């Protein structure tokens, strides 16, 4: 499967629940449930207590957070008793996404991990993160090239543009962290 066809395969990230919704009992994830959580997702009966500030850059989640749930006075995802259900999403892929979302500086993933993160970013409209995943995959592929090819790429105008874009992204990330 080529990279271009891989990204056309869509992870099923629609809001669906095969379990009773809202859940009668709350089973919190042992690691991805923070005490100060203000954003809640449930996958296959396990609740994830996360931070809304990390999901607000996504128009997809912003739209969910402004629409009140029918029969309730609040939107989904604001409380653990009314989480956003993604029961079709494989938990290991979600864990990888959360690892990168919460700890981008320390995340080391395989090319498969980056592809899965990219698919979730595209589905959930995290456009900036989706762009970064492409750069990370290009960086990984470049490291696999023989030294002669790396030197040729250094003189290629396309690679020069890519290096400049990488530098700008790093500067942007530093500015965000300082705020």
Report the pLDDT value the prediction gives residue 173, as an integer from 0 to 100: 75
Q: Could you read off the pLDDT of 91-144 as tens digits, one per residue?
A: 999 999 999 999 999 999 999 999 999 999 999 999 999 989 988 988 888 888
39-43 and 46-50 strand pairing: antiparallel
Report the pLDDT value the prediction gives residue 6, as an integer from 0 to 100: 47
**Tokens representing residue 172 in the block:** 């942007």
| Of residues 6 and 38, more confidently modeled | 38
**Cα–Cα distance measured from residue 175 to residue 158, given in angstroms and rounded to the nearest whole number:** 26
Could you tell me the pLDDT band of residue 151, with boundaries at 50, 70 and 90?
Answer: confident
Report the pLDDT value the prediction gives residue 149, as an integer from 0 to 100: 74
**Cα–Cα distance measured from residue 9 to residue 42, given in angstroms and rounded to the nearest whole number:** 23
Q: What angle do CA 26, 27, 28 make, to 5 degrees?
A: 110
Tell me what the mean pLDDT of segment 27-46 comes to: 93
Q: Where are the alpha helices (DSSP H) in 38-110?
A: 52-55, 59-66, 91-102
Backbone angles phi, psi at 40, to 5 degrees: -130, 130
pLDDT value at 8 more than 50: no
Q: Are 93 and 23 in contact (CB under 8 A)?
A: no
């Amino acid at each position: 499967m080529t990279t271009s066809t891989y990204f056309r395969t869509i992870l099923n990230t629609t809001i669906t629940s095969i379990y009773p919704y809202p859940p009668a009992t709350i089973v919190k994830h042992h690691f991805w449930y923070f005490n100060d959580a203000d954003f809640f997702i449930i996958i296959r009966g396990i609740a994830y207590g996360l931070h809304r500030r990390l999901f607000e850059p996504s128009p997809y989640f912003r739209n969910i957070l402004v629409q009140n749930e029918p029969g309730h006075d609040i939107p989904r995802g604001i409380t653990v008793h009314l989480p956003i259900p993604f029961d079709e999403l494989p938990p290991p892929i979600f864990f990888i996404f959360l690892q990168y979302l919460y700890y981008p500086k320390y995340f080391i993933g395989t090319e498969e991990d980056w592809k899965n993160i990219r698919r979730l970013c595209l589905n959930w409209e995290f456009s900036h993160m989706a762009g970064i995943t492409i750069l990370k995959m290009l960086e990984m592929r470049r490291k696999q090239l023989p030294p002669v090819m790396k030197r040729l790429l250094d003189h290629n105008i396309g690679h020069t543009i890519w290096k400049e874009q990488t530098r700008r992204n790093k500067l942007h990330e530093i500015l965000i962290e300082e705020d």
